[in-house]
């Protein structure tokens, strides 16, 4: 999922979500942070990443999916 930081103020489910909706949700969490949670059970907690770390993670996934 590509994301423009500062644009996702509500939880947004990945566009690659399974048919049953089990996936991750993300939203911006401040000026330079991204929050990630499990859409199946959002009460289990939230992981926080800097915007740069999240962007590097997405870039790495994108590059590795091409191989």
Tens of pLDDT, residues 31-60: 889 999 988 888 899 999 998 998 899 888
Q: In this predicted structure, what is the pLDDT of residue 5?
A: 47
For residue 1, pLDDT over 50 is answered with: no
Beta strand 33-38 with 47-50: parallel, antiparallel or unpaired? antiparallel
pTM above 0.85, yes or no: no
Tens of pLDDT, residues 9-27: 788 887 766 666 678 889 9
The residue with tokens 């423009």 is 4
More confident residue, 43 or 5: 43
Q: In this predicted structure, what is the pLDDT of residue 66?
A: 60
């Amino acid at each position: 999922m590509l994301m423009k930081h500062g644009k996702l103020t509500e939880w947004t489910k990945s566009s690659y979500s399974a048919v049953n909706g089990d996936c991750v949700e993300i939203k911006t969490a401040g000026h330079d942070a991204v929050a990630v949670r499990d859409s199946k059970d959002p009460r289990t907690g939230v992981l926080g990443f800097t915007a740069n770390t999240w962007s590097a993670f997405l870039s790495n996934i994108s590059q590795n999916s091409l191989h």
